[in-house]
Amino acid sequence: MGWVYLLLIFGEFALFSITVETYFWASHQLSLPDGTKEAIHNHNWKVAAEIKSDKLDEMEVVMDFHLLKAMVDNIAIQLNNIPLEKIDHFQQNNSSAENVAKFIYENLEAALPKGVELASIAVTEEPGCIAKFSK
């Protein structure tokens, strides 16, 4: 409450964000609580990556859209056209949409330039079924 009060007294706080989207096709097979596995099935996954900053760079943008899109595409390509369980991360973690979002988030966060922060990764398995990860 104190910080909000200080911001109101000393000026307005601005936050900019941009989002890029990409797609990949992959299959997955969730492990169920009883130890069985669901049937392997495919999705055309959609990924939305949102980054934020409290200021714009020298070009007066949060970050170049094309650069961010290329970064997200480079992560998604690792997942494209394979069963997700072939990726080391998903041999240790269930290949749920939530864990796919976390995997992409952690990989993208490590690659972002200074001055921007990863706000969230949203992963759509199918229309209306969206998982989001943020810190």
Domains of the chain: 14-133 (3.30.479.10)
Which residue has better confidence, 1 or 111? 111
Pick from 100, 16, 2: nearest CA to 54: 16
pLDDT tens profile 16-44: 999 999 999 999 999 999 999 999 999 99
Q: Are 74 and 44 in contact (CB under 8 A)?
A: no
pLDDT for 5 equals 44
In angstroms, the CA 98 to CA 52 distance is 21
Averaged pLDDT for residues 104-125: 96
Q: Indicate if the pLDDT at residue 128 is higher than 50.
A: yes
What type of residue sits at position 65?
F
Contacts of 128 (CB under 8 A, 6+ apart): none
Averaged pLDDT for residues 48-53: 96
pLDDT for 7 equals 46
